[in-house]
Each structure stands twice: as structure tokens, then as C-alpha cells.
Amino acid sequence: MLRTDTVRQILSWYEGETPGLKSNLSRLLMHGRLAGTGRVVILPVDQGFEHGPARSFAPNPAAYDPHYLYELAIESGVSGYAAPLGLLEQGADTFAGEVPLILKLNSGNSLAEGAGDQALTGTVEDALRLGCVGVGFTIYPGSDHAYAMMEELREITLQAKSRGLMTVVWSYPRGGKVSKAGETGLDIIAYAAHMAALLGATIIKVKLPTDHVDLADARATYEKNPIPTATAADRVRHIMQASFAGKRIVVFSGGAAKNTDELLDEVRGIRDGGGNGSIIGRNSFQRSKADALKLLSDVMDLYA
């Protein structure tokens, strides 16, 4: 398929980037059922690190097998598959070139109480070896380790971009001045998305915001200025505005397991607010393959 005008416009927003990076971004945007639309749906499977194997895969035991996860990504026609090193290695030969890959370079685990940090579990060289289009990295704005994580991301971004790889930044605020409700508050999510853009993210991943405004210093600004917050589409529109006036690709987390109607309602809000798409993990691979394929098809139909 020839690159569409929509994709050409998106690539034009990434000024200062290398042809290699733009080629890999184009590979992602031109792959799968949403190819050429400027929308993306990504399958992420990093929950084994975050929550443990049983909490991640017991609802659908087939997903313990890394090949199953590759097959789900390929058969569903999602734009890309993101996972830690071991999962991508176990299948990289068998499925080489069949789906764009994103190597998640850092991970936390639920055995470490309140760490507010993640360990580096992969390298840019690993991503190149596996033929990935980019690398993923989590930051926790607000945590005690936020500055160190940002400095790690700076170095990884330099390595990745110099080799033509994209950076996908999971920007998940927590700790510091951020309350628990604030972790999905509109002002906090907008701040987190903007920080990811400032750090050079090619693609920004955030949670879908609520209408809660968390910081007292921000509340007056939101009340004084015309920032609509009533609907999910309004809130997504504000996140896109905070992401360089919509000139960065922003995808929204599928979050904890939920029923199909709830998930599709969220997708409609993302679509109507101008978001670029969804990154859906537990809500897909914890279902049977037939149910997951149907769900992902319905999600992509809404975006298409």
C-alpha cells in the first residue's frame, strides 16, 4: 500500500528526526487493519512483569505461550506488538517481519513495595537485533525517582533515535503531589503527556483521563479558561492539545479488565476527541482468542 496523505502529514510533524525513524514510524502507521488512517491499535504484553503470570494469563491459559501472543497480534491486524525482551525473543524467528515490534526496555514488579521506579530489562541493541521499529520506556512523573527515570530516557532516546528507532513513552504519573485520584486526573494526564512530548517521545501512552482536576495550582486555571471537561472526547481533545497541539501520536491505555461495552465507549471518546488510538493488553489477551479477535475488530472498526 502506498503511504497515504494522512501518514505523510503525521511524518511532517516530526521535524528534526532521521529518515530511519520516520521509516519505522511509517511501518507502524501503514501496518494492519488501520493502515494509512493515522490511527493505531497496539497489543502490549508487559503485565507478566507488572502483575505476575497467574494474574496476567490464568483467565486465558493459552496466553502463557509467547507464540500465542504473536499470533493474536498478527491475526487481529493490530498496528504493532509491544513486550519485554523474553517475550519478543520467543517468537522473533518464527514470526519475523509479520508485525511491527516495540521492545519495552524497563519494567517494574508487584513484589517491590512502592518502588516508584522500574529496572532496565533490555537495550537498544536488543531492539535492533530483533528488528523492532522502536523501544518503549515508562516514566513516573511525580515519583521520587522521576528525575532519574527522565535522565535514563534521555540516554535511551539518544541511542534509539541515532539508530532510527522510535521511542514510545508510557507516561504514568504517581507519587509526590499526585493523589490517587489524580493519577487519572485531567490536569495530571495532560501534564504527563506534555512532559513525554518535551522528552522527545515519538508516541505517547497515557491513561484515559477523568474530569477530576488534582492540583490546587491548576484548578483555578481550568476554571478560568475555557477548557471543556464534561465528556471523554472533551478530555481527550485537551490531552491532544497538550501534546504539541496534536502533533504527536497519543495512544490511550485500555486499563484494567472491563466489559466490552465499557471499552468500546472509551474508544468512541478517544476517536471523537482526536486521539490516535488505543493500546489494549489485558482486555484482549485475557479473553479467548475468538473473543479477543472480535473485540479488537470492533475497536478497529470504530477507529476506521
Secondary structure (DSSP) of 274-299: T--EEE-SHHHHTS-HHHHHHHHHHH
CA 41 – CA 39 distance, rounded (Å):
7
C-alpha cell read off for 11: 511524518
What's the rounded Cα separation, in Å, for the pair 104 and 120? 9
Three-state DSSP state, 69: helix
CA distance 32 to 98: 10
In single-letter form, the type of residue at position 73 comes to A
Is 258 one of the catalytic residues?
no
Among residues 70, 81, 140, 172, the one annotated as catalytic is 172
Angle, alpha carbons 287-289-291 (nearest 5°) = 60
Annotated catalytic residue: which of 161, 205, 207, 303?
205
Give CA–CA dist 275/248, Å, rounded: 10
Active-site residue, 205 included: yes
CB-based contact 193:168 (threshold 8 Å): no
Name the residue among 76, 66, 79, 140 with its Cα closest to residue 108. Answer: 140
Report yes or no: 249 and 276 within 8 Å, Cβ to Cβ: yes
Name the DSSP letter for residue 182. G
Catalytic residues: 172, 205
